[in-house]
Amino acid sequence: MDFDAWKVDLKSKSAFHETGCRITVEGNPRQPMGLIPTNFPAGLTAVEEARLLRCGMKAIVSKAREEHMKTVGSL
């Protein structure tokens, strides 16, 4: 499994993995206060679930910071 295969939608504050897993963040996507994971693939170990969450959160935060820098840089 490619743990980094995430597509981020900042409007919905969510990231979607190719397996169907979804992570939605609460609060500011650059500094989330919480997260709601859904649709974990069956058969993952606890370590794999944690890795999938970590990679998904990294994708959301990275995309949010990238978009913020584009906005700040254009001022």
Q: Which residue, among 49, 45, 41, has the nearest Cα to 21 in the 3D structure?
A: 41
Q: What is the pLDDT of residue 75?
A: 55
Residue 60 · residue 23 · CB < 8 Å: yes
Q: Is the pLDDT of residue 22 over 80?
A: yes
Q: What average pLDDT does this structure show over 48-73? A: 92
Mean pLDDT of 39-67: 95
The CB-based long-range contact list for 18-23 (8 Å cut-off, 24+ gap) reads 21/52, 21/56, 23/53, 23/56, 23/57, 23/60
pTM above 0.85, yes or no: yes
